[in-house]
Structure 1
Amino acid sequence: MQEFFAVVFAFPTLPYSIVLAVAVIYWLLAAFGLVDDGIAETGGLDPAAGDATDLPGLSGLLARWGLGGVPVMLVMALLAFFAWTVTYFVHLFVLLPLPALLRWGIGTVVLLLAPLPAIPLTATLLRPIRRLLLHLRPVPQASLLGRVGVVASPTVDARSGHATVDDGGAGLVLQVRSDSELQRGERIVLVEHLAAQHCYRVVRADAVALDFQDNLLPGNKENHR
């Protein structure tokens, strides 16, 4: 254990130890909801689709290396882990027995070259993660307004409730709220996305609801003119 810490907290492993520690702390905070994990903002880019070169700056650079389509902090964490692993074992088995001056000289080269094997290793690991994120990509909120669903919870009121909405696929289960109490099995219409509460405001899908929908949804208003 003493030898482990001697390598981890010595040059050239130390810089990657610091980056890896920061990444681990970040994802621990994200797990508790204290920082944004960035998953919702990745946009679902698949570099294999051929659109990577159209992105500017860091996003385009990461995509060209096969590192796009996932949160940047996840990329940084994996790059740091693989670079740290390479540097650690080179340091332990090659550099540690060397004289200090030679260890610093070769260690600098190892520090600079460690990302080269880390990039393809990270890109390989990200492929299944990227596919998973594509499946988990949220549906654009505005596209759901006006959809008809069915109350799935025992009741829906201003504080709690959920409903199922047909999206043309497996269906969606959404958190919904209503000014009037709704019962299980009642048909509802999504009329407003409440971003702060991560849910939708709904009304009954009866004549009143349809009239409300005609007056508030721009697309329906145009259709009935």
Structure 2
Amino acid sequence: MGGFVTAALGFPAVLFSFLLIVVIGYWLLALLGAVDVDDFDGGDGLLAGFGGVPLSISLSLLIAFTWFASLAGTVLLDDLELSTPSRIGLGAGVLVVALVLGTLGTRVIVVPLRRVFGPAREPSRKDFVGRAAVIRTSSVTHDFGQAEVAAADGSTAIVDVRQAGQGNLTAGSRVVLYDYDSEREFFWVESLDI
């Protein structure tokens, strides 16, 4: 265990050891509900390639991968008998390599996660097409009528409906919304009672 602690506190791993402690603390607080994980994404700046997932996840992965790579590099440097200037120079090289490997490792994980954290699709009136509804007006014609329809989340809406053919759709009749006219903003309906 002493070798691990020595390597974790050696240059360049020590730079990321502190950050890894911060990351672990953050995720412990997130588990307790003290912090919110759904923060902003990487945007267009330094972390642009990590966009599409919460920044807390991207940074946590980057720090973890970079810490591991720098720890491995520190262990390799400790095995070599180097003078102090050589050790510092090679340590700086290990730092750069660790950052590159950490970035690549993070990208490998973040790209598939984008599908999980993708932007939520805005609800649309076309989501009602194919749903059953109940007529709420006294009748439905080719230029008048309203119906109550339930959305997928359980909420209800009153929408304008029209009937293409002749029929007897009155209040309480069950219908299906089979098409949406976006220009005139109403649904075409057909009776469910066959």
Fold-level similarity (TM above 0.5): yes
Alignment partners' CA distance in 1, 2:67 and 2:107? 16
Q: Secondary structure at the match of 1:74?
A: helix
Share of identical aligned residues, percent?
27
Query: What amino acid sits opposite 1:81 in the alignment?
Result: A
Say if 1:73 and 1:14 are closer, same or farther in 2 by CA, change over 3 A: same
Deviation at 1:122, TM superposition (A): 0.8
Residue 16 (str. 1) matches residue 16 (str. 2)? yes
Question: One-letter code of the match for 2:57?
Answer: L
- Say whether residues 1:74 and 2:79 are aligned partners: no
Which consecutive residues of structure 1, in runs of 5 or more, have no partner in the other structure?
43-57, 148-164, 174-187, 191-225
Assess, with a 3 A threshold, how the Cα gap between structure 1 residues 189 and 120 changes in structure 2: closer, same or farther: same
What 5-or-longer segments of structure 2 have no aligned partner?
129-149, 158-194
Q: 2: distance between equivalents of 1:5 and 1:140?
A: 50
In the alignment, structure 1 residue 2 sits paired with structure 2 residue 15? no
Q: Which one-letter code corresponds to 2:45 in the other structure?
A: L
Deviations along 1:204-225, one digit per CA (max 9) or x if unpaired, are: xxxxxxxxxxxxxxxxxxxxxx
TM-score between both structures, scaled by the size of structure 2 = 0.59
Deviation by residue 1:155-194 (Cα, 9 ceiling, x = unmatched):
xxxxxxxxxx52xxxx336xxxxxxxxxxxxxx648xxxx
Q: Secondary structure at the match of 1:36?
A: coil
Helix, strand or coil: the match of 1:59? Answer: coil
Contact 2:70 2:98 in 1 (8 A): yes
1:99 partner SS:
coil
Deviation digits for residues 77-105 of structure 1, max 9, x if unmatched? 11111111111111112344333502222
> Could you report, residue by residue, the CA deviation over 1:6-35 in whole angstroms, capped at 9, with x for unpaired residues?
101121110011111111211221122101
Q: Which residue of 1 aligns with 2:87?
A: 103
Rounded Cα–Cα distance in structure 2 between residues aligned with 1:26 and 1:73: 9
Q: What's the offset of the Cα at 1:38?
A: 2.3
Q: Which moved more, 1:14-23 or 1:95-104?
A: 95-104
1:48 corresponds to? none
Alpha-carbon spacing, 1:70–1:104, altered in 2? closer, same or farther (3 Å): same
The structure that is helix-richer by fraction is 1
Q: Would the aligned equivalents of 1:16 and 1:84 in 2 still touch at CA under 8 Å? A: yes
| CA distance in structure 2 between the aligned counterparts of 1:139 and 1:121, rounded to whole angstroms | 29
Aligned partners of 1:95 and 1:107 also within 8 Å: no
After the TM superposition, which segments of 4 or more aligned residues of structure 1 sit over 4 Å from their partners?
137-141
Q: 1:127 aligned to 111, 115, 119, which one? A: 111
Q: Deviations over 1:122-162 (max 9, x none)?
A: 1111122111112xx55669x89xx9xxxxxxxxxxxxxxx
Give the total of aligned pairs: 140
Residue type matched to 2:94 in 1? V
